[in-house]
Structure 1
């Protein structure tokens, strides 16, 4: 059997453990993506891990090598400008979002054109300046291509319809979205700050909870949430609720509550804890200085539980991604009694 396209097929619930084992053994193929096929996931490997069955992938999916933009500019830019060119970007469906150093904003149009040449399947390039405001709205500018930027981004068997000019989507949270897709089977779930369905949709599509109450205040994001529920065929599972999580979150109904927001999430902990039945699990996302992780987040949870006359048992701590210099986006899973 050829060695270059080997994979270990496992049930979705075993995918993370198998992936970690393959990485630990030095057998994970970093060139290829994991591929979902119904309830099974193919883990790409360079050779067979001991005691595991391997198959030859019919349609392997490869990570795209990040091209060197400097090659597209040649001698048209100076050495200082060449060193400031972006070395990474995000692709959301047909739209590319790229951060550009302000010192070379005069090259933004040429950078956009170069990216469209590299990715001919894409139709628009947006300059990404980050997110702002209570609705976490993106600050973006069209720098090349089609001004119609609504698209469908597909990830791990889930379709996310969105307009990256109007709604945020963080590729850096992909691993956490995939993890949510393995949780909640048969449960009642409350997803606070649901957005366009970042965590709701993977759970509904893959884990099939009994019910997910998905709460979102931003009218644009809520519109896409409703549309994405239909698009993924999970109308019978997801109940979209438009409103402020502080008042719209149902009380005492949930086996699991997701708080997938950062920055001011601690202000909503009382509502998150109140949503849970005794023994329910809370997924608390928040930004935190690296030097205070995870103690600060655990203190937030403990204090909120005490206010409600309840207690928490910490079950998992994880760094989701680097948020900014010295700051982490982290998540704590806690069982609330």
Structure 2
């Protein structure tokens, strides 16, 4: 098949998530528009998307050439400043979040205005300085646009309402969110670090587990979790629990446990394993130095299983994303007997 005008056809409700996946993998053809045909949308790609059907577009629609960020500045900035301009950013609903090199912090307002010019449907731009604290709260600053930063983000048929100024949302975890949407059918699931429903919602919407216990300690994130359950029509499946998962995680009830937190997740492994029935599956997320991947994750899990007098069989280890220089965010799936 010619690769000139390839596209991935998906139902309309899956269009946003598929488009973002193609973007994350570097396979989105930015020259062409998405094309709607009935209840389906064709996502333009430069190469086949893993695990997805691909077709040759009959009537591709092309964008007019639009200016990039550097072009909007013209000759107003130096060559060095131009080199340091951000090359990427994320869009959550109608809010743009962008990381800016501290050396061009003086340009942040103008960068924000330029991004709003490129994306006229968006209304706010946030400078993203990462997350901090036990609640993993975002450190962000409004640099352009509307003060109202609460938004609704749609991904793979799931609705996430959030305020990116107050709660985190990582576009880099999208593949893992989509994977969770294929797991858990008919099961009892415990999501120990539920946030606003990052993994709970895709699983509840697409796989329809028997029950999900979704635990979240951050009161702001918990409020959005409860609201998102209603927005997605899954409040009858999910039991939201507000508090510390070390205390609230039920024991011996789960066919599957999701531990989607990083940094100190190993401290909660005992509770995660205790929640599992014999033969249940644990999804253990953690940050790990690249040179210790995957050995450190495997050791963490083996030691926790031994403390519980149980055994863990590793089924899958994967890199979720680059976390920081020399560090990975990784996930290990294990069946615990």
Fold in common (TM above 0.5): yes
Spell out the pairing of 1:24-103 with structure 2 (5 A cutoff).
30-31=28-29, 68-103=68-103
CA contact (8 A) 2:6 2:48 kept: no
Query: 2:245: which partner in 1?
Result: 245
Please list, as runs of the form range in 1=range in 2, the aligned pairs for 1:98-117 lying within 5 A after superposition: 98-117=98-117
Please name the residue that 1:21 is paired with: none
| Structure 1 residue 31, shift from structure 2 partner | 2.2
Is 1:207 paired with 2:207? yes
> What is the total number of aligned residue pairs between the two structures?
317
**2-side partners of 1:62 and 1:174: how far apart?**
26
Cα offset for 1:4?
2.9
> 5 Å matches for 1:245-324?
245-324=245-324
1:62, CA displacement in angstroms?
10
> Any gaps of 5 or more consecutive residues in structure 1?
11-27
Q: What SS does structure 1 have at the residue aligned with 2:120?
A: coil
Q: Within 1, Cα distance between the matches of 2:172 and 2:225? A: 20
2:169 is aligned with 1:169: yes
**Judging changes above 3 Å, is the alpha-carbon distance between structure 1 residues 227 and 83 closer, same or farther for their aligned structure 2 residues?**
same
Q: Which residue of 2 aligns with 1:227?
A: 227
Cα distance in structure 2, aligned partners of 1:5 and 1:174: 22
- Relative distance call for 1:192 and 1:287 in structure 2 (3 A) is same
Contact 2:187 2:211 in 1 (8 A): yes
TM-score by length of 2: 0.85
Once structures 1 and 2 are overlaid, which stretch shifts more, 40-49 or 178-187?
40-49
Q: C-alpha offsets along residues 78-102 of structure 1, whole Å, 9 cap, x if unaligned?
A: 1111111111101000100001111
Q: Unpaired segments of 5 or more residues in structure 2?
A: 12-25
The answer for the alignment partner of 1:178 in structure 2 is: 178
CA drift at 1:34: 10
The question of whether the paired residues in 2 share the 8 Å contact of 1:66 and 1:87 is answered with: no
User: Whole-Å Cα distance in 1 between the matches of residues 34 and 69 of structure 2?
Assistant: 27
Structure 2 distance, partners of 1:61, 1:265, is: 46
Contact 2:265 2:285 in 1 (8 A): yes
**Corresponding position of 1:142:** 142
What's the counterpart of residue 156 of structure 2?
156
* Kept in 1: contact 2:29–2:46 (CA 8 A): no
Structure 1 residue 53, shift from structure 2 partner = 8.1
Q: Is contact 1:68-1:87 (8 Å) kept?
A: no
How far apart are residue 61 of structure 1 and its match? 11
Q: Which residue number in structure 2 is paired with residue 236 of structure 1?
A: 236
CA RMSD of aligned residues (A): 3.4
Residue matched to 1:336: 336
SS in 2 for 1:76: coil
8 Å Cα contact 1:97-1:126 kept in structure 2: yes
TM-score (norm 1): 0.85
